[in-house]
Structure 1
Amino acid sequence: MGEKDAKRRIIVGFVIDPVLLSGAETGSGTWRMRASVESDEVYVALVSDLARTALPTTILGVTFAGVGLFVAQALGHAGLTAAVASGVLACLCKLALMIGQTRRLARRPYAPREARLWEWGHLLATIGVASSVGAFAAMVFAQPQMEPQMLATGLLFGYSSGVVAHLFIRPVLACGALLLAVLPAIASAAWFGDMPHRILAAMFGLFLVGALQSVFSAHRKAIRQIRLRLDMAALARSDTLTGLANRLGLREAFRTLSGTGDDSVAIHCFDLDRFKPVNDRYGHAAGDALLQELGARLRLIVGPPALAARTGGDEFVVLQPGVRHPGEAERFARRILHALSAPYRLGPETVSVGLSLGFACAPSRTADLEDLVRRADAASYAVKRQGGGVAPSGPAAGPPRARAGADSVPATCR
């Protein structure tokens, strides 16, 4: 994580938790801030959840408009009308933001950089709502009438409970909203009121402290739950032996492809030659160790956005997006062939296996995974009958099936 991203997380993404350290550690009275670090996946998931608060925002907007206009009319206070108008407008802006975010999420997940923009949009809208609620409550408590103060108290508690229940996923945003809404009411009740109002201000302060603590606690639990959910999802999409993707992971990665222009996607299918004799001679544990080493080699040469998957015992599929000309797929196939054909060290023994690799290409916008796998698999079986090596799909590919370790690969990617 870069310095800029780290600063951003401290501002809007970290849980700030003051902890008084002992004098022996840092000196008497020194405070440190502990940050609950969010991974990019967790951060994106939490920001995405901000789009799911449309109903509470609608309820707040309707309630604020009804209660606020009634109180403003009863007191004949133009400032109250302005506070209500600005609060309702901020609610509408927040709803529009949620609609846009929901539509964006329906297309595909976004990156952390884009998530940060959505989070700042929610921050600005929330500041507008919270400051309007706070200004409204402060002006009401500056008046002597009790009935409007009762309504303002109900509005304030309703808004605060909604913030704790729905915005805890972004704790700095939630705490800022609580402070903007509640502190003006506390100050107004304590300054303009009598002793009962000062007691009410003290109650507001105590409840505010409890609400802030609840936000941090709920956020920590949310992080744990999302991490568990992401871990389980990763397990469901990965092969436990090699750490590569499995069939489900391959399908989901293919589905998220977004090729543009003349980009193509290539699928490489291969299985291992002479793998069964390794299992028969050295045992299944040695075979598993070989597959694990093969997976490690694949991860070194197949980096994002490409993806390697184990689809069977010794069967593998490599997804290569962003192919701009056939030579890219050929060179990538050659790299896989050479890297995986090198000898494997299994304890005191050294063994070698060959590859039978076929590959197929199609335009990203129209590519079909099943069709590409079928064509690449057919090419793999064809080259296997020739003794192993690499071959593209398609009848025009020609006969040359490059042997393991050979330098020539046909010049077509069909």
Structure 2
Amino acid sequence: MRASVESDEVYVALVSDLARTALPTTILGVTFAGVGLFVAQALGHAGLTAAVASGVLACLCKLALMIGQTRRLARRPYAPREARLWEWGHLLATIGVASSVGAFAAMVFAQPQMEPQMLATGLLFGYSSGVVAHLFIRPVLACGALLLAVLPAIASAAWFGDMPHRILAAMFGLFLVGALQSVFSAHRKAIRQIRLRLDMAALARSDTLTGLANRLGLREAFRTLSGTGDDSVAIHCFDLDRFKPVNDRYGHAAGDALLQELGARLRLIVGPPALAARTGGDEFVVLQPGVRHPGEAERFARRILHALSAPYRLGPETVSVGLSLGFACAPSRTADLEDLVRRADAASYAVKRQGGGVAPSGPAAGPPRARAGADSVPATCR
């Protein structure tokens, strides 16, 4: 049911929007119950009563599904695999509603009385317009509902009626084609709007220079962590030693280029679910979830040190900078971001106070550089 043009984020957003159709579903259920029972009683047709009962039951199931989905979304976003399960639930409930509406309309048009047919026509048009207006976000779902609801009415009106009914059946067919086209057109527009919304949200959570997360992105990533109760989360804080001489000697453009290259290196070694963020000029934070023991955090810290301490090529020049890195750990179920950052920052500043990572460079080596040795990784894990 997922379109090829939908990315994971777009797909999850579209399926999530299915939970926001409770009001039109409620209106449909009430209308179907009122109109359907009136027509069934007027015609004395047991089949109409059964169609109304099944349609109202399907509406109630769909409302219960939306309530459960809304509560689930209130906790945290879900992955595409879970979104697919919710979509299948909506598909089954929608099939129940649409087939009930279609069966009801078909049975009414098989009767000779005109008044019930007028009510059935109004119900059918109301349901179809609601499908186009609210289910276009899932085109397969919307098109299936339209076909199940309208095709039985077309067949019944054309088979059992006279010439005016055949004209009505042709009108239903034309309106059905227009409704299907409207569904796909609205779906394409929805994808464009959601992509724009996601892009704007990503910009709000990203550092424009390095492409890493910013403070907001870091907080959101930390908030979405789900601890298993027996693992920990680590926060690594570091800043660059003697970064200012690079700016002073080569200019701010060279400093920006260095930070961009540093961000690219971080993205290579920090993959999901870990996250790297730039929180200041040359200040960075790395979030490392799923830590089973402090040794994992220390090994990860040394990987960061090794990768970022390698020389940087800035045009014709090659420069080196170091970093003072500290990290802190806490159990995932009780971890607090601000406390972890504070402890990791304190460990990082301890490196600078000890002076163990700073050494001047030779005259031919360019600007001063910082040496990031193995002793530059203090940690506070508990």
Q: What range is the shorter-chain TM-score in? A: over 0.9
Give distance in 1, aligned partners of 2:363 and 2:271: 30
Give distance in 1, aligned partners of 2:113 and 2:320: 89
The answer as to 2:187 corresponding to 1:219 is yes
Shift of 1:120: 0.5
Identity %: 100
CA change 1:358–1:409 in 2 (3 A) is: closer
CA change 1:335–1:147 in 2 (3 A) is: same
Give distance in 1, aligned partners of 2:351 and 2:336: 23
CA change 1:392–1:333 in 2 (3 A) is: farther
Contact 2:347–2:378 at 8 Å: present in 1 too?
no
Give distance in 1, aligned partners of 2:174 and 2:142: 17
Matched pairs, number: 382
Q: TM-score, normalised by structure 2?
A: 0.94
Shift of 1:407: 7.0
Give distance in 2, aligned partners of 1:167 and 1:300: 40
Contact 2:361–2:368 at 8 Å: present in 1 too?
no
Contact 2:347–2:380 at 8 Å: present in 1 too?
no
Partner of 1:312: helix, strand, or coil? coil
CA deviation vs aligned residue, 1:307-359 (integer Å, no higher than 9, x gap): 00000110000011111101011001111111101111111111000101111
CA deviation vs aligned residue, 1:88-126 (integer Å, no higher than 9, x gap): 111111111111111111110000000000000000100
Contact 1:356–1:384 at 8 Å: present in 2 too?
yes
CA change 1:273–1:408 in 2 (3 A) is: closer
Contact 1:392–1:412 at 8 Å: present in 2 too?
no
Shift of 1:36: 5.3
Shift of 1:395: 38
Q: TM-score, normalised by structure 1?
A: 0.87
CA change 1:409–1:251 in 2 (3 A) is: closer
CA change 1:313–1:402 in 2 (3 A) is: closer
Task: Give 2:171's aligned residue.
Answer: 203
Shift of 1:217: 0.6
Give distance in 1, aligned partners of 2:274 and 2:359: 19
Shift of 1:387: 2.4
CA deviation vs aligned residue, 1:269-319 (integer Å, no higher than 9, x gap): 100011111110111111011000000000011110000000011000001
Q: CA RMSD in A?
A: 5.2
Give distance in 2, aligned partners of 1:326 and 1:393: 34
Structure 2 gaps, min length 5: none
CA deviation vs aligned residue, 1:349-383 (integer Å, no higher than 9, x gap): 11000101111111111111111111111111111
CA change 1:279–1:394 in 2 (3 A) is: closer
Task: Give 1:346's aligned residue.
Answer: 314
Give distance in 2, aligned partners of 1:57 and 1:154: 16
Contact 1:308–1:318 at 8 Å: present in 2 too?
yes
Contact 1:266–1:319 at 8 Å: present in 2 too?
yes
CA change 1:196–1:78 in 2 (3 A) is: same
Shift of 1:401: 17
Give distance in 1, aligned partners of 2:290 and 2:340: 15
Shift of 1:405: 3.5
Structure 1 gaps, min length 5: 1-32
Contact 1:392–1:410 at 8 Å: present in 2 too?
no
Give distance in 1, aligned partners of 2:151 and 2:108: 14
Contact 2:228–2:332 at 8 Å: present in 1 too?
yes
CA change 1:231–1:170 in 2 (3 A) is: same
